[in-house]
Structure 1
Amino acid sequence: MKECGQSRKDSTHPIASSSIKFLRIASWNVRTLYQAGKTAQLTTEMEHYRFYIFGVSEAHWIQSGQKTLGSGELILFSGREHNQHSEGVALVLGRYAQKSLRGWEPHDERIIMASFQTRSKNINMNIVQIYAPTNEAQDEEKDPFYDLLQEVVDNLPKKDINILMGDANAKIGRDNTGYDRIMGSHGLGEMNDNGERFANFCLFNKMVIGGSIFPHKRVHKATWVSPDNVTENQINHFCVSQRFRRSLNDVIVQRGADIGSDHCASRSKEIERKCQGNDTNLEEEEDVETHWSRVKSAFTATCEEVLGYQKKEYNEWISQKSFDLIERRRHLKEQVNSSRTRTSKEEKMEQYHLAAKEVKVSIKKDKESFTKTLAEKAEKAATAGHIKILYQTTKTLIGKYTMSEMPVKDAGGKAIFEKDAQAARWIEHFTRLLNRPPPTNPPEILEARRDLPINCDTPSHREIVDAIKELNQGKAAGPDLIPPEALKADVDTTATFLCPLFAKVWTSGKYPIDWKEGHLVKIPKKGDLSRCENSRGITLLSIPGKVFNRVLLNRIKAATDPKLRDEQAGFRSNRSTTDQIATLRLIVEQSLEWKSPLIVVFLDYEKAFDSSDRELLRKIMRNYGIPEKISIVVISF
């Protein structure tokens, strides 16, 4: 199954356990998510009714993948492979559901499956969201759908809680003769061809149709209402494994949920469960680790108290006016549902359709206004020379982002869908990449006769201050969750705080665990993203640890710079590789002017920094004359 989208190793990013008394699951045919503002409306309803998992039919998104929204929800989707925005299914997961997600599989534009960890370690909860062909569709379309659905269900462990939900386009009716083991007598209408197919499927797979076993009013059963508000059908269903029938507390239509669809959301209460997470405890070791724990706690506690946690900006382009119109449309739908007479219902329905049009027009204007504002912001940033703001604004304006995350392939090129197997594959890849064997025939590198005049005393207060000032803001924190802005808020106080810790690290030669660990994030490059080789690993390290390293670098730079070759321009002060680019350009221009042949060779060492041998690095440092104390501190980090 596809992994849940975390690009950092779980072992370095513990998730606290959180209990959920009842897991509210819902399913809805929204008619489309491929429309401006639809996703925002869906997540608003999801938050309003406190749904943890939301199944979507007719998402109309193409291809398959996953997307994390600014509000925190994770959308898993499966659609058509080509640019035809029709059908499509999706699962929208709240924060609690994301923590227990084990993996998921996109099958086609009508079927998607996701697996979740329950309180019991031996039992998972598997949810299959569907969008079945209509009753009028030909058998040539229905048969392949049910064949694939049967294949998906066959692969689900029988011991697990297996849930089948979505728009089945099937009327099962009230007569449960011959189906009493899997359905009750509280269905709606009369069984049609799709209903018979669906009931036989559930009977064969021992799945109970939840909407038929709980007594409710007619209005709380109908999942689809015709445009004239005359015809009502129950075609959206929620089914659960027969052995877990008693864990299903209720299935009912959520009539108040509104997204401008002629379908109603159906929801259920599920079994009591607990989101499982990793729990790692660091052992307190010696004085350095204890000292570091106090320093880290002081910074993180202060940041939480003073700053709190950053809230992500979500759908900033949708105005309050549009949200008010959406709320008005919701109230009109409630009035339609509560109308006593047909005349009153038709009148309210006409008002509802007008309100729906106003929502579309308002959201379209919001999008245009937002785009215009971004363009003006980008123009001002370009005029003022603010390149970072210009880049970020242009990126938002263009709207380019990776919608889907491809299933990773193993070394043999076979796709891996199981989450644990995918994690093992990434571990295998980065272990091989970052832990290269030592060279078989290392060159003999002699030590310098005399060490360079580099300070080997414990880091001073002044050095720490200078190192903190050189930190770049806006960088991600490491495992200790301390951002650079926290250190730069009061540089002198921070240096005073860190100075005793750095002295202990320097004299003992031992580092805090947080300094030696990092969050490994995979960044996609070009090419086939299902291959590990086409993703670049970025390690997010401790910011205080970087300050310590900066002190070392500043000591080394001044003494070693005169010994470096003139041809090296990168990683040197007052020089840049742009100097070499300018030189090469002059050579090319002169070659063209004099019509002389020119051969240019570009040599790039693959994974050069990732495959550096530590022992050779120490010998090279000693060859330059870097003192033994400094070289040992560097390679021991």
Structure 2
Amino acid sequence: MHMIAIYAPTEVSTDEAKDQFYSKLQEVVDGIPKRDLLLIAGDFNAHSGANRLGWETVLGNYGVGEMNDNGLRMLSFAATNSLIIGNSWFRHPKWHQRTWRAPNGKDTSVLDYVMVNNRFRSSLRDVRAMRGADCGSDHHLLRALVRLKLKRSTPKPVPTKRHDWRYLSDPIIKQQFQLALSNRFEVLTQSEDVDKEAENIAQTVQKCAKILCPVIRKRTQPWISDACLDIIDQRKRAKLVDQTQYRQLNGEVRQRLKAERETYWNNVATELEEAANRQEYRTLYATLRRLSGKVRPISNDIQKSDGTFVRTAAERLERWREFFHQLYNHESPTGPPASPPKIAFPLHPVPEHEPSIEEVKIAIRLMKTGKAAGSDEVTAEALKYGGDILAQRVHSLICLMWCSNQIPHTWKVATIVPSSRKATQRTVTTTKGSACYPLLEKSSCVFYSYDYKNCVSRLPEKSKPDFA
């Protein structure tokens, strides 16, 4: 809901002053979303008149007086912006319509108006002058009654198909996954371009894994199993063709839901007790937060650097880009450059040979599972259960990078997930970002880290760097 209070130039003012006023008012109105309720109230210094001819969508049946130049401008402005003159849509005695009394104390007129969007016309319940209010002014208080039926607007997000990568741990599915990778990689020759090769590996892993890993089904309650969801689907189909089978399946669904609910809560209680006994407070409080159901709502109403709120998705993305650009890019420090520290050359330098296949396998084995995938949509589970065929292909990619001194362009792109540190999320400065990098890039980082630590551990104690 947006409210604008105005004071328009008088009838005897110059045309330039009137044009300037309505131009400025139009700029303010243009910055307000069309779907929002807009209410404009104030002294328009205008006579709308009672003739509705040509103004049926703007002026009601209860206009007052004769239209003047300011009245024509006001009606034109209202018609352009799909507004209505609220005063003219409600029947009242003339002393409840007139808002201004002349200095002679006898002549009265209507100079103050309330406008509202035509879309919210039914929300405006009444507009009338309140003559009893002692304001010390020649204008009477104008009251507008507005009744809103508010409904929380939550845009439906596009559902993302999330695959259950845990299925790859099954020995049979794991064997099928490795066989599918082997068949695809046999017909896919290795590219000499690092970008193309990284893209081929990521797409091949996605296609093979998504065939074997089913999509995680949406559950209204966490204890509902896939078997129960299958019976619910059968019940839905039987409702249209066989009522006897429908009643039978309905009873089976109820029994299953009751049993699965009891089993679920018993397992949760056992999990809490075991976590408390092992003093695993992270697991304990994470489970308690999950059971409490308190989820912080995500608000898209964020402020710009000048304090105003964003209006469109493009402005929202631009504000986040501006914030993270300022966060991660700092100006170079002024003053004389600092002298570089003297670093002693190690007695046993780190070898610069190409990585071996065993080192790549160790790096993949050291990766943590259950982590979010990056832009390549390749998870650690897919790399771990891909077997030797996938490890060899990743090893070939790392060797290609090693020889060409290049890394894929997609590995330089991270998905930043903002998380607010405070209850209010309107100010982006209270937000920190978590970056999700491609898993193939993470595997190479794990390899380089492991290789470096392994080499440093073989150095004499005096030659080891302080940060190792």
**TM-score with structure 2 setting the length:** 0.49
Structure with max Cα Rg: 2
Greater percentage in strand: 1
Greater percentage in helix: 2
